[in-house]
Amino acid sequence: MPKKEPKIPLNSVMLAIDKRDKDWYVNLTAEQKKAFSTWMMMRYASSAQGKSSMHYLFMVNELVNKNYEDMYKHPELQWLLLSLCGSGKKEYHPYIKPPNTRKKKDKVTEFLNTLYPLMKRDELDMLKALNSKDDLKQLAEAHGYDDKTIKDIFGK
């Protein structure tokens, strides 16, 4: 049976941030420290609702998010900066669904993505919408795709 990652209750993390508990991270076990995600805690902390919402948004952005790439190898420093963002009293931090990076692409979008790898998803969608299926088939032929591959991408 695989070993489960130790869970850190989200409400205890948010309470420690709210109450500015600077020692909270130091008191975690080694396994819990590995499971701690500063990026996810930044998302939750900055989403506070109520009178302090602007305070949290500003403080998390200015203290933790700014220059995040310079200190990603220093989780205790990240925690100390997160703890500075607290208002001193318990706040409500709503659940935020993490972004889904596994969006399925249709075959036409994948084809366009191979031709134009630097285009963003919305630009590829616009290119697909502005051109007819026949235009895109001609584009595939111009790039040397064989009939079988074109049929696989575009259907009949």
Residue 97 confidence (pLDDT): 75
Residue 83 confidence (pLDDT): 93
Q: Give the C-alpha separation, 51 to 122, whole Å.
A: 36
Q: Give the C-alpha separation, 39 to 41, whole Å.
A: 6
Q: Of 10, 76, 20, whose CA–CA distance to 40 is shortest?
A: 10
Residue 14 confidence (pLDDT): 92
Residue 105 confidence (pLDDT): 72
pTM: 0.60
Q: Count Cβ atoms within 10 A of the Cβ of residue 48 and give its class: 0-12 exposed, 13-18 middle, 19 or more buried.
A: buried
Q: Enter the tokens of residue 105.
A: 């692409």
Residue ranges covered by each domain of the chain: 10-84, 107-154
Q: Give the C-alpha separation, 94 to 68, whole Å.
A: 23
What pLDDT, in 10s, does the model give residues 55-74?
Answer: 999 999 999 988 888 888 89
Angle in degrees, 0-180, between the axes of helices 107-115 and 147-154, rounded to the nearest 10: 120
Residue 103 confidence (pLDDT): 59
DSSP structure class, residue 5: P
Radius of gyration of the chain (CA): 23
Residue 102 confidence (pLDDT): 57
pLDDT per 10-residue tile (average), the chain, 156 residues:
67 92 92 88 89 91 88 90 92 78 76 90 90 92 92 86
Residue 9 confidence (pLDDT): 87
Residue 96 confidence (pLDDT): 76
